[in-house]
């Protein structure tokens, strides 16, 4: 679990950062700044976002 959180942090998935969801299937694709990241649904399920 901590390894997964560390990996997400290193990719920029941290509290306060804005992310944009581009795709849900077959995998989640999110954008942080100018970087697109593909995530498995099990990992994406652990990311909580606030709309705004």
Domain count, the chain: 1
Q: Count other Cβ atoms within 10 Å, centred on residue 12.
A: 15
Q: Kindly report whether the global pTM for this prediction surpasses the value 0.75.
A: yes
Per residue in 5-44, pLDDT (tens digit) is 898 899 899 999 999 999 999 999 999 999 999 999 988 9
- The pLDDT score that the predictor gives to residue 8 is 87
Within-domain flag for 50: no
27 is in which domain, residue-wise? Answer: 2-44
Neighbour-count burial for 13-49, b at 16+ CB within 10 Å, e otherwise:
beeeeebeeeeeeeebbbeeeeeebebeeebbeeeee
4 has pLDDT over 90 = no
Within-domain flag for 35: yes
- The pLDDT score that the predictor gives to residue 29 is 97
3-class secondary structure, 4: helix
Return contacts of 19-27, CB within 8 angstroms, 24+ apart: 19/47, 19/49
């Amino acid at each position: 679990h901590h390894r997964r959180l560390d990996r997400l942090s290193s990719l920029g998935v941290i509290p306060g950062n804005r992310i944009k969801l581009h795709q849900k299937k077959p995998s989640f694709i999110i954008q942080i700044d100018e970087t697109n990241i593909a995530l498995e649904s099990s990992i994406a399920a652990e990311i909580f976002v606030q709309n705004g």
